[in-house]
Chain A
């Protein structure tokens, strides 16, 4: 079902990653359109999309968002009382889909989802915590 490209995760971490990805896909079913894991050097660690030709689009747009938002670092303390970058989560409501981006110290995980019958509450309350746990795991094993 997945169209996957390269992976630079070690085997154990990769297995864990795939278990979580399968869990996400089981919850999301047809709403799952793709996901990408990027490290803090903007390298694609894992990338999967249902449609093969979406792989590059998804990865490129996530890297572009990260690079653009990185420019806000240190510039948003006064208006927000905290920095806009690095943020914890970014959820874009698009015309027929959601693009969700979660950050940890060394990784960014993006999830591209179809909107049909998918409540934003499901993304924030069920999906995002699973990804938070995955990122926490990846951070822990990195140390």
Chain B
């Protein structure tokens, strides 16, 4: 994983999302180690690492198909969290202000871009 390239990707997405972006973090699943981030903290990373783990276990126990691509959590305070899940054992979390974001842009452009940026960094040597 090219961490420097990943951090540059976070900076690129930060510019694209503008004032809608509150925080962003890319971490290793199960460990919660942040690889690249913007305005985040270890508690937030640990929280979502645990949430994803719960969801994956519940889905497996209930016999549902596994998570593919992402999940969204809309909070009561109009904040929206997108957790992009990578089968390689990483997660990319994005926290945005729902009032300042175009959902079409977020779902149709930002998520696919984050996936592309991740794999560019993942396959790139440091």
A binding-site residues for B, Cβ under 8 Å: 57-58, 60-61, 64-65, 68-69, 72, 75-76, 78-84, 86-97, 99, 120-121, 124-125
A68: which B residues are within 8 A, CB to CB? 54, 58
Can you list 19 A-B pairs, Cβ within 8 angstroms, ordered by A?
Answer: A57-B63, A57-B64, A60-B62, A65-B54, A69-B54, A76-B44, A79-B41, A79-B43, A81-B79, A82-B77, A84-B73, A88-B75, A90-B74, A92-B55, A93-B69, A94-B65, A120-B107, A121-B103, A125-B103
A95: which B residues are within 8 A, CB to CB? 65-68
A123 to B53, CA, bound (A): 24
| Contacting pair A61 B64 (CB below 8 A) | yes
B64: which A residues are within 8 A, CB to CB? 57, 61, 94, 97, 99
Q: Is B1 an interface residue when CB atoms closer than 8 A count as contact?
A: no
Q: Is B99 an interface residue when CB atoms closer than 8 A count as contact?
A: no
B binding-site residues for A, Cβ under 8 Å: 22-23, 40-41, 43-44, 47, 51, 54-55, 58-59, 61-77, 79, 81, 95, 103-104, 107
- Contacts A82-B77, A91-B71 known; A121 to B107 CB distance under 8 Å? yes
| Contacting pair B73 A81 (CB below 8 A) | no
B43: which A residues are within 8 A, CB to CB? 78-79
